[in-house]
Each structure stands twice: as C-alpha cells, then as structure tokens.
Amino acid sequence: MSEQGPGPDAELDLTAGSRAALRRPRRQERAVRTRRRRTVAALGAVAVAGVGVLAATHRPAGSDGVTTVAADGSSSAAVPGATTAGPTASVTGTATATATGTASGTATGPATGTATGTAKPSKTAAATKAGATSSARRTTSAPAPGPTPRLRAGGAPFATRCAVSRTLVPSCGAYWGIYSRRYGGGNVETTVKTWESTVGRRFDIVLMYYDFSGRNGPGWFPDASMKNLGSSRILLLDWESRNFSTGANYRWADIAAGKYDASVVVPSAQRVKAYGKKVMLGLDHEMDLSYAKHGTAAEYRAAYKHLRAVFAAQGVDNVVWTWVTSGYVAYGNGPHVKSFYPGDQYVDWIGYDPYNFNTCHSSGWETFDQTVKGFYDWSAANGLGSKPLLIQEYGMHYGDNAKSRQWYRDIDDVLRTRTRIKALVRWDSDTSCTLRIDSGTGMVAEFKAAGLAVDRP
C-alpha cells in the first residue's frame, strides 16, 4: 500500500457487515415516470472537442455584488461592467454546433468556440431548467442564425450567469468528482489525470481520506499531489479519527477535550490556511456506522464543534465544512443518523454515501433515482432541507448490462429533478463488492457520457 496508508477501503471492509445488515431491498414497485429526453449531440461534441477552451471557462464571474469562486476554490469579486475579451477557437469534425463560452480568470469575457465531433446518442427533446432553455437537435450543420447561448462544459446551453457562494454552493449544475488511487502506484494525482484523459473532461472535485496520526503521508493534508490537483479542482478532504497504519482508533471525547490539538489539529489548521484556496473538510464520514469505535453521538458533535473552533482560532477562513453520513435512514434509522448532526451553524454541506449494491449485499437492483432518493427525501422532511447535498461516495455493483447502462444514463435527469444535489463523487475502488467504474462491458463509456451530460457549474 502507498505511503498514504490503507485509506477508506479498510474502514469500508470493517463496516461491510454493517452495510449488509442495514441495506435492505427497497420496494421495487415504483411508478415508471415519464422522463424528459434531451440531446447533447452537437453541443456535447463541443464539450469534448472544445475542452481546451470551454472546460477551463466553465464559470463566469458573478453578477453585481456576487463573489465568484473558481473550481480551485479561489475567488474574485465581480466588477460591474468590466469585461475582458476571450479567445476564439475553431475545431473541425462531423456534426457542427456553435456556442459561446466565458473566459476564466478574475475578469470575464466572451469566448467563442465552433466545434464538431461524434454526437452523444439517444437523448432527444427540449428541456427548460432554471431559466435555461435547451433545444439542441442532432444535426450536421450549424444552428440557424440567432442569439448563440453560452455553453456549459457538460453540453447544455444556459442563458444566465451561474454564481457560486462563499461555501462553494453552485446556483446551477452539480460538481462531478472522483475518488480513485488505482494508477501510478496509488498516487491520486496520476490516477485522476489518467481518468480525466479517458473520460474527456476535468473533474470538479477530488476526494481523499486522511487519518488523525498527524504524520507525513496519511495524516498530512493537503499533500503535494492534492495541492497540484487543487490548482484547478476543489479538494474534498475526509478526516478520519483513526490511524491507517496501526489500525488504532481515536476517541471523539479526547478530540473534543483538546488532547490532539498541539500535535495534530493546530498544525493541520495551519497547513490548510497556508494552502489558501477553499477546501471542503469533514470529520469521520459514515460516523453513524463506525461510532462504536469512537464514542457517542454527543461526543461526535462535541469533537466536530471543537475542530471548527480550533480552525477559527487559527484564522482559517478557507474551509467549507461537510457532514457525511451513510445515508441509511430506512427502518426507523433516521433519528440515529440525525443524532450526530452538529447543527446548522456548524455545517455548510450535508452528505451521504448511496450505493446500488445489487446482488453484493442481496439488496436487489436499484435505479439511480432509487439509489439516492432515501436520504434525499428524508433530509428534506427532517429539518435538513436548507443544506446543499454532497454525494461523497456513490457507485454500482455491476449487474444486467442494459440496466447498468441505464443507471448511468439516468443521472442527468435525476439531478435535474433532485436539485439539492450539488456534488457527486464516484467511488472507484473495490471493497467486498465490485464497485470500480470499469467493472462491466461499456461502463467506462457510460460514465464518460454521464459526466459530459451533467450540467457543470
């Protein structure tokens, strides 16, 4: 294993039994809902062929009085009326579309790209979302003359600016992310860039797990590889109260009492502050499953609040705080999950880890909507509906090929319906289940198509 320690695989192996017991088959009697079908044919080709221009220009500056936060977490205040002319790019291919993007940087300006390529198949029909109209049609010629919409990197046009809040919440679209260390000897930077080359787009978020040892490697964040990735991506850091190398667990009560402040917490806060860019940081994802090794719900809440207080005392203002549970709220488990919630004033994003385990845990097949809906609906009904949702881990145990392909194809439509989901991170590793992206025939292509279709902030 790499110097970064065993990572979350070890934790998930330990909790596989818990997951197997908790993840029951959900009712399969779901009414078949009529889905809007839309195409990203020509415009999807722009996202692929024009990635050099448009992927780097996916977020315009905010409107008057709005601070725009870039994908790497840096921010710049919008100057009313100030614009900078952007570049023009032309790429040649098969199906032609014309779209206007926005040059990234501290100031914005129009960037026009004319791009062609092989159209993404099957989605056809116009859709209107949040004031943005999509009416793309499969074509081998440019659209009729008229106002040319700016282009989301995912392929859908939009007419209005997409602002990002100081806590990194996008007003439209969703961040597309990954956790993977499968290449380069476990090096996250090499792995992420390898996957980006494969899927034809840059990830918006990269997830990494760190332990509480405070030592260089698994307990040292952000490390060099993540800093390099953070130049154009948001870093999502999960801080685990255990030691990856020894397997030791740390008690939440001790963290809350300040036992590790001098050796671990303060140095970590200082490194994050020195990094400068915004990061997303949470304590012990799925604490509702692993609590027996660390303490009670009350002790978890106290530890979480203590970490926030120490970071604030160190002058750290570039952390967006996350709270991520297993998401298992069925069979009356909701109150148990909520008992770990520190409170609205301490948490910026709430999250969960939904999986379509399929036959792995005898859960039965779930569509993507069935996979994510449980915690989504529960959180809205239990006082957490004001918080943006982070799917910190998601994945699928490969099954029937047609169903597996459809699982990915549904993602875009589900995100357009379940608009509180503002980020989702694909888990690309195996535990007791086969959850890799490339676990079945055609799955890499489907993951790629889903990433290009999803509206990108």
Question: Per-residue pLDDT tens for 402-434?
Answer: 999 999 999 999 999 999 999 999 999 977 899
| Whether residue 83 has pLDDT greater than 90 | no
For 8-31+167-453, CATH number out of 3.20.20.80, 1.20.140.10, 3.40.50.300, 3.40.50.740 equals: 3.20.20.80
pLDDT digits (tens, 9 = 90+) for 300-355: 999 999 999 999 999 999 999 999 999 999 999 999 999 999 999 999 999 999 99
- On average, the pLDDT of the chain sits at 76
Helix or strand run (H / E) with residue 270: helix 266-275
The pLDDT-based confidence of 390 (bands split at 50, 70, 90) is very high
Q: What is the pLDDT of residue 161?
A: 54
Report angle CA 190, 191, 195 to the nearest 5 degrees: 120
pLDDT digits (tens, 9 = 90+) for 22-55: 443 333 333 333 333 343 333 343 333 333 333 3
Burial of 296 (0-12, 13-18, 19+ CB in 10 A): middle
Helix residue ranges, H only, 315-389: 334-338, 368-381
Q: 55 vs 75, which has greater pLDDT?
A: 75
> Is-contact 378 385, C-beta < 8 A?
no
Q: List CB contacts of 147: < 8 A, sequence separation 6 or more.
A: none
Cα(161)–Cα(359) distance, integer angstroms? 43
Q: 286 vs 150, which has greater pLDDT?
A: 286
When mean pLDDT is compared across 70-79, 193-202, 265-274, 361-370, the lowest value belongs to 70-79
Task: Return the domain boundaries, the chain.
Answer: 8-31+167-453, 41-158
Burial of 386 (0-12, 13-18, 19+ CB in 10 A): exposed
pLDDT digits (tens, 9 = 90+) for 116-141: 333 333 333 333 333 333 333 333 33
